[in-house]
Structure 1
């Protein structure tokens, strides 16, 4: 994992009162979360939502909405494209 940007760590330290080391770890965790590749995100969320007993039709709509709402939105994926990520 790459070092989080120093200016962002300073900002988080200043706005939250967290010590710099913890702020750096928080920033790194958030960057890793949002840096997850689209395919990996879709697979992970599909597994999580299936465990919650949602049906695929609900899952595809929810995942597509989540992808669109991310700070750096993924390209719009159709239900067919989402299914292909999961089932090949």
Structure 2
């Protein structure tokens, strides 16, 4: 039962992650594997749209501002 509770907590934490934290984390992860910004921001925008509770659509410029300030 402890393992099931831990899995549920992990899933809830994943979906509770703020959009800004998700964008920064995914950008860093994808850059680590050599992806270019153009494809990274397109991929992140698509991933955000598929989230259970999707945020408003963010433009590439908005995504860049989240990452680079």
**In the TM superposition, what is the alpha-carbon distance from 1:22 to its structure 2 partner?**
1.5
Asked whether 1:30 is paired with 2:11, we answer yes
Counterpart among 5, 27, 40 of residue 59 in structure 1: 40
Larger radius of gyration: 1
TM-score (norm 2): 0.95
Q: Unpaired runs of 5+ in structure 2?
A: none
Structure 1 residue aligned with 2:61: 80
- What is the count of residue pairs matched by the alignment? 69
2:30 aligned with 1:49? yes
What TM-score, normalized by structure 1, do the two folds share?
Answer: 0.76
Larger RCO (alpha carbons 8 Å, 6+ apart): 2
Structure 1 gaps, min length 5? 1-19
Moved more, 55-64 or 69-78: 69-78
Q: Which consecutive segments of 4 or more residues in structure 1 shift more than 2 A?
A: none
